[in-house]
């Protein structure tokens, strides 16, 4: 079973390397890892999808000094999305097929040339995999996926408490609050 952890980390150089090194040292396998800025310039948000024991990974992440908060959102109501850009070889006959598939999957053609189109598809992993399998016989030339991003539904919020950064901007004070 895949598990999803969301971690808030300090937005500083080397933090991603420390997290990746932790996974390597502990022999944890990452299925998907996305990192991006948040509403706070001091904080980045990581979404980690893996099959390993989430509690063990969560405990290991908390040992890193730049980790602010980690929550397991696997069973929480959430919205998860992945994005893929898929370059497909087309001709006069297959261009219409690709357009029809885009309509069915609510995907978009974001670039078109005489012999190729680039399709942008957003959704859960199964939707992107299904779209990819239908485009494969037409001729996928190149593909890139962003990885999964997840956000809890409703009033549940994963955000650093204001007190956290008001004190001294790092976790050395031992302050940790789980909002989720």
Query: Tens digits of per-residue pLDDT, 13-33?
Result: 999 999 999 989 989 889 999
Mean pLDDT of 30-44: 91
Find residue 7's DSSP bridge partners: 46, 70
Q: Which candidate, 78, 31, 41, places its Cα nearest to that of 180?
A: 78
pLDDT at 15: 93
Alpha carbons within 13 A on the beta-carbon side of 41: 0
pLDDT at 176 over 60: no
- Rounded to whole angstroms, how far apart are CA atoms 110 and 103? 13
Find residue 116's DSSP bridge partners: 89
Answering whether pTM is above 0.85, one says: no
pLDDT at 171 over 50: no
Helices 125-139, 94-105: axis angle to 10 degrees equals 170
Q: Which domains does the chain have, with CATH numbers?
A: 3-77+153-173 (3.30.70.260), 79-145 (3.30.70.1150)
User: Do 66 and 10 contact (CB within 8 A), yes or no?
Assistant: yes
pLDDT at 159: 74
- Rounded to whole angstroms, how far apart are CA atoms 161 and 69? 10
């Amino acid at each position: 079973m895949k598990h999803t952890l969301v971690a808030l980390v300090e937005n500083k150089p080397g933090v991603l390397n420390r997290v990746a090194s932790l996974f390597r040292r502990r022999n944890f396998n990452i299925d998907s890892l996305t990192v991006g800025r948040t509403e706070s310039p001091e904080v980045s948000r990581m979404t980690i999808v893996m099959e390993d024991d989430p509690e063990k990974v969560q405990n290991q992440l908390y040992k890193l000094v730049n980790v602010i908060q980690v929550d397991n959102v696997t069973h929480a109501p959430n919205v998860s999305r992945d994005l893929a850009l898929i370059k497909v070889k087309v001709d006069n006959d297959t261009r219409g097929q690709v357009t029809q598939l885009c309509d069915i999957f609510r995907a978009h053609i974001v670039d078109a040339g005489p012999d190729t189109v680039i399709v942008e598809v957003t959704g859960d992993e199964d939707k992107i995999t299904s779209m990819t399998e239908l485009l494969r016989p037409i001729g996928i030339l190149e593909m890139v996926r962003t990885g999964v991003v997840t956000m809890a539904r409703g009033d549940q919020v994963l955000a650093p408490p204001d007190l956290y950064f008001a004190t001294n901007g790092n976790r050395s004070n031992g302050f940790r609050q789980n909002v989720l």
